[in-house]
Amino acid sequence: MHILQSEELSVAEIQEILGMGQSRISTHLAHLKRSRLVQDRRAGKNIYYSWSLSGPIKEPELRNLIRLAVADMPQAALDRSSLQHVIAKRKNRTREYFNRLAGKFGRSYCPGRSWQALAHLFLTMIPSIDVADLGAGEGTLSQILSKSARNVIALDISERMVEIGSQLAKDQGITNLEYRLGDLEDPPISDDSIDLAIFSQALHHANSPQRAIAAARRILRGGGRLVILDLLAHGFEQARELYADLWLGFTEVELVHLLEQAGFRENDVQIVSRELNSPYFQTLLATGVK
């Protein structure tokens, strides 16, 4: 009732906001409907729920009751944040456009056009800033960023990755790229020294994603930006053995909460890629500003 008082929501949206199973939510909604506290509206395959206009309790009294009830619920603030994210997703028509474009991109051949080439194009447009690539591996991304950035720190927990990456940078004559050995949750990087911090398919390797994101904020200057590329939550358990993944991706709402808890603002999370083959991994892009 708390999240429905300002928005009409589908069962799937309520499920995403509350993080509960569909059957449990449907059962509660059925009780609320029988009590004439909510009403439903069908739109295609979706059923939307909202407050009933002719319920047994007058609206001002009901709002007051709910306000008193949620005052003792620590989850209420997170629910409100999740609600805002779900509504923003619903309104984001741009995302739908690019999803359609991405589907056509792979089916239409054009010589020299590829996502890899476009990545190089945009990464070389990075201004002269200080960048930290957290969980960089051999540092392919770091090497591309170094073409435009002032300085790049490539951090990884693997001694071998740091060794190989350092040698690659030396062989290519890259002087503004430094490889450092360290943990995502406690990077050996000075406070307030970085303009852009990146987790590129690295956050799911952190023991505590919350601590890793908080550490990224520590090293960022005021106004600095955090960018996260990671997998949408999935059920492919083999990833733990195949790729040493500690977390099977994240939901959009989880990343929004992690960014908010760390103190980031202007947070945005969206799905930017969908694989067509099993296990059908999807990629999330999350950004926040210190």
Which residue matches tokens 């004439």? 36
| Calpha distance 172→239 (Å, rounded) | 33
| Calpha distance 286→270 (Å, rounded) | 7
pLDDT tier for residue 46 given thresholds of 50, 70 and 90: confident
142, with CB counted inside 10 A (0-12, 13-18, 19+), is buried
Q: CB of 8 within 8 A of CB of 69? A: no
CATH architecture of 110-289: 3-Layer(aba) Sandwich (3.40)
pLDDT 10s digits, 231-264: 999 999 898 888 888 899 999 999 999 999 999 9
Q: CB of 184 within 8 A of CB of 208? A: no
**E strand segments, the chain:** 9-10, 38-43, 46-51, 130-134, 151-156, 177-181, 194-200, 220-231, 265-274, 282-289
Q: How many residues does the chain have?
A: 290
| Calpha distance 286→290 (Å, rounded) | 14
What does the pLDDT read at residue 105? 47
Q: CB of 178 within 8 A of CB of 146? A: no
* Residue 37 DSSP label: S
| Calpha distance 108→121 (Å, rounded) | 20
Domain boundaries of the chain, sorted by first residue: 9-91, 110-289
Phi, psi of 29 (to 5 degrees): -65, -35
* Average pLDDT estimate for 55-64: 89
Chain centroid, CA 23 distance in Å: 26
Q: CB of 55 within 8 A of CB of 1? A: no
* Predicted confidence (pLDDT) at residue 154 exceeds the cutoff of 90: yes
Element (H, E) at 87: helix 75-91
- Higher pLDDT pick, 214 / 86: 214
What does the pLDDT read at residue 94? 44
CATH number of the 9-91 domain:
1.10.10.10
Single pTM value for the model: 0.66
Q: CB of 177 within 8 A of CB of 149? A: no
| Calpha distance 282→277 (Å, rounded) | 11
